[in-house]
């Protein structure tokens, strides 16, 4: 897998809503991150095979392959990256979604979110 130029931290944003993807891209790039965007989990899966990411910001509900399926793939294929996942969701937290979040023990960011909320959770996860 290739590494980013100049050892910038690299973030993969998996988001099918263009406006939210743009907020993530602009905010994180302005903070010095290299940011790649995938519109669904299947595209993200291919990107993960090609490049090393420091963090993945994954929308739980994307077409073709959803965030939970992508997370399961990350756990299986890139287990060292599983603790660098943040979920996003615009959905109401029903029992199934709450159960999934508890099971994965990963943080989540409810939509809509502000650039400051995005920055805060990204920094928290990157610090470990």
pLDDT at 98: 86
Torsion of CA 37, 51, 114, 97, to 10 degrees: 90
> Per-domain residue ranges for the chain?
5-127
The CATH code of the domain at 5-127 is 3.40.50.2300
Which three-class secondary structure state does DSSP give residue 97? helix
pLDDT of 118 reads 98
In tens, the pLDDT along 76-93 reads: 999 999 999 999 998 777
pLDDT in tens, 94-109: 888 889 899 999 999 9
pTM of the model: 0.92
d(CA 121, CA 29): 15
Give residue 10's pLDDT band: very low, low, confident or very high (50, 70, 90).
very high
pLDDT at 27 > cutoff 70: yes
DSSP strands (E only) in the chain: 10-14, 34-38, 55-59, 85-89, 108-110
């Amino acid at each position: 897998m290739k590494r980013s130029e100049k050892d910038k931290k690299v973030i993969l944003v998996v988001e099918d809503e263009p406006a939210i993807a743009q907020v993530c891209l602009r905010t994180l790039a302005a903070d010095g991150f290299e940011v790649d965007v995938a519109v669904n989990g299947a595209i993200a899966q291919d990107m993960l095979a090609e490049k090393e990411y420091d963090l993945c910001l994954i929308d739980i509900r994307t077409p073709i392959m959803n965030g939970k399926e992508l997370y399961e793939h990350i756990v299986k294929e890139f287990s060292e990256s599983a603790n660098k996942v943040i979920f996003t969701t615009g959905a109401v937290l029903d029992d199934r979604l709450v159960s999934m979040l508890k099971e994965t023990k990963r943080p989540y960011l409810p939509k809509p979110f502000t650039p400051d909320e995005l920055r805060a959770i990204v920094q928290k996860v990157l610090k470990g």
